[in-house]
Structure 1
Amino acid sequence: MIKGSKPLIVGSSKNIWQQTNWASSALGQTISLYGSAAPEQMSAASPVLFIGGVHGDEPEGVVLANEWLAWLESENISQPWLLIPCLNPDGYQRNERTNGRGVDLNRNYPSTCWSSAFEEERYFPGTAPASEPEISALVTLIEQTKPRLIVHFHSWQPSIVYTGESAKSAASMLARCSNYPLQADIGYPTPGSLGEYSANDLGIGVICIEEQEGADSQSIFPRFKQGLIDLMKA
């Protein structure tokens, strides 16, 4: 582990499916995947897919993903689900937005609008769509399991952003419980993002939870807990 890095907390319940070496990062670190069942059993189940740690300098998203995972492990939820606690372990351990090759993973999806253009290095989209192993693995997972909804956890300015009308109802639940504003977009173009690829290209609604950057870690999960539960029970 890199000096000063933050340990990843992962679940250990025997009641859920888990694969600690589901995928590898650009620098060869393992990426874990958890779920109510194995992905190959979910092609007709339409699970909800949760993703934390897309941007390594947004640890609030990893906190939320891990605590939500712990809750899912302890409860009997009938709706199928999958969860990746930290998609970008390279960036997370370095407190950097990008992955180990300097790519913004949320600009690397193979959307029809993917572009090689970028204004700042932190938004570098990679050399080609899905050039990064983290995104390549996630795209395969989405194709394999055909989720009904994707929720990814970030931090910046407090908001609940949805892409695709099918995600609006669930996003409204999260907005009500958190008292964060509900938005139909982030406010600027995001070519190659998960929202563009999943919602606009595949028709799978996407919700982006934007927690307050620097939020007290103990306040994060309680703020969204009821909305996440309602989402799973809807």
Structure 2
Amino acid sequence: QKEIVAEIEGYQKVIDGARAVLDNYRPHIPIHPDWPIFELSEVTTKITDGAHFTPTYVETGVPFLRVTDITESNTSKKFIPKEEHDELIKRCRPEKGDVLYSKNGTIGIAKLVDWDWEFSIFVSLCLIKPKRELLDPHYLKCFLNSDTAYAQATARSKSGTVTNLHLIDIKTIKIPLPPLATQQAIVAEIEAEQALVNANRELIARFEKKIQATLARVWGENAAEPFGENA
């Protein structure tokens, strides 16, 4: 029994360690003192948010993204009628190469729009359109997910029942802006790092299966006669 407990505890320590990496990792960008610093509003063409009302949800239609869709904390999906989507994109039209940024509830998570299909967003998401000649969209996403940007976001947020980050505050987040080639090199380094971090998800799944297999081995062999043949 002690051996089995020790085996399971060993697996659980690996799972806990992998979860800690996933929960605590944020990319870090070493900032060179020669890089100019800009406010986000200076290096973007638009910073806005999504629908300020709950739209009509339908079974099939245009995808309607919320914070849970970019944090992947919930698998449920929402769709709205094409007519409502057409109205919403008059003010807020997400396009490939834009960046989505969470601003209500869970704040400070950025996701690059790297797909072509149309969608609309809720007020809890901010849409940021970078000036591509100055700011690589991948670098913008990496920076907004970095520890530096997250510290700025939390310092600017308003906490009540729900934590909120207002557009006016997002626009003042300061971003270091090296040349595009340097931005792309930073992105490559961070993406390699993130691949290693994401491998922890597979590690968790594998070690959870090991725990299940250990329990199945014990209970599968002994469940019928827990006290042996002569009990």
TM-score of the alignment, normalized to the shorter chain, above 0.5: no
Q: Which has the higher helix share?
A: 2
TM-score normalised by the chain length of structure 2:
0.28
TM-score normalised by the chain length of structure 1:
0.28
Bigger Rg over Cα: 2
